[in-house]
Amino acid sequence: MRTIDDLDLAGKRVLVRSDLNVPLDDGKITDDGRIRASLPTIEALRERGARVVVCAHLGRPKGEAKPEFSLAPVAARLGELLGTEVAFAADTAGESARATVDGLADGQVALLENLRFEPGETSKDDAERGAFADRLAALADAYVGDGFGAVHRKHASVFDVPARLPHAAGGLIATEVGVLRRLTDDVERPYAVVLGGSKVSDKLGVIDNLLGKADRILIGGGMVFTFLKAQGHEVGKSLLEEDQLDTVRAYLARAEENGVEFVLPVDVVAATAFSADAEHDVVAADAIPADRLGLDIGPESGKLFAERLADARTVFWNGPMGVFELAPYANGTRAVAQGLIDSGAFTVVGGGDSAAAVRTLGFDENAFSHISTGGGASLEYLEGKTLPGLQALED
């Protein structure tokens, strides 16, 4: 996979596919982690004298130009972080985009409007997607793929544009791939995997693949109640995927056959309602009252998980242990994050909600070996899938 060091980019228009899909609240960015992660590649291109044309998506506007999904706030924040003005195109590959790009001098930066305002970006029709890719490619002399959070999507800006221009991987993608190889190819053991989040179905592929690779798998979050139910326990009104019970039972059996340790919570925080103000208590994991729902792993489970991480040399964590956004249900996620830090292992936080939790709960990001910018992409890589965006950069 080529890097930007392999291309002569001075004076060239370089289209950079970044991941700037940040959370917004009433037009204000609430977490700029992905913008900050995009800075090193953009700055490296500026230093090489490139004319940097950044493109990205935000949310799911489904092919329509919706003001609430505009990248205008992102352009402003990107300019603040770079310490230079970032020109903003009012469209993605139209008249404004062409004029904005034409106005760039060497070392200057522009951001195009939301890629997903264009139906061709996400189209499953090769011709429609290709036509949009043609328009995007016409804005540039070279392409740099740096949006790791989108490489598992067969989208025009990720998959089709690289085929039309000299291309290379940006620093962020190169780093992410290097980290993921340490989780798959030459793993330092013991290798522990912590999985949380709401649904088992979101993690089926990665659990299936890791049953042959990990030494132990720790399960928390909303998905744990399907595991507890599969063991015959009452889970009350907790989140449950009835259609996955047989699959989960099969995973537990395979884990035992393969010598993979499955670690489930021994207690949970069970509440009368999904609310920070609801009555809540710590109960045994096998004795959740029928009228309550579990919203976090309990304190003894937090200690247990930390103990099972203490001797690990490699840890991958994807998914919070509870509803960390609500203070009464944040302690399980906090315990796991601290457990990763205390282990001294090579620790990878797998993007998405886990990365947001680390920042929301006030942890120093540098205390972890790597915080991924792409939760879904990380999981699909660990499932062993071919990621279209990486495949396009390797061709």
Query: What CA–CA distance (Å, rounded) separates 263 from 261?
Result: 6
Token match 């120093």: residue? Answer: 364
Q: Please check whether residue 158 is in contact with residue 17, taking contact to mean a CB–CB distance below 8 angstroms.
A: yes
* Residue of 12, 17, 34, 292 marked catalytic: 34
Alpha helices in the chain (DSSP H): 33-47, 72-82, 95-102, 119-122, 126-137, 171-184, 204-210, 224-230, 245-258, 299-309, 331-343, 352-360, 375-382, 388-394
Based on the residue annotation, tell me whether 34 is a catalytic residue of this protein: yes
Does the active-site annotation cover 171? no
Q: Cβ neighbours of residue 353 under 8 Å, at least 6 residues apart? A: 197, 319, 320, 324, 375
Choosing from 222, 322, 352, 389, the catalytic residue is 352
As a whole number of angstroms, the distance between CA 382 and CA 205 comes to 8
Q: Which residues of 86-97 are buried (b: 16+ CB within 10 A; e: fewer)?
A: bbbbebbbeeeb
Q: Which of 145, 294, 332, 376 is catalytic?
A: 376
Residues 109, 100: Cα–Cα separation, whole Å: 10
Separation of alpha carbons 309 and 378, rounded Å: 21
Identify the active-site residue in 164, 182, 199, 249: 199
Q: Is 199 annotated as catalytic?
A: yes
Count of positions (residues) in the chain: 395
Are 152 and 176 in contact by the 8 Å Cβ rule? The answer is no
In the annotation, is 154 catalytic?
Answer: no
Q: Which of the residues are catalytic? A: 34, 199, 352, 376
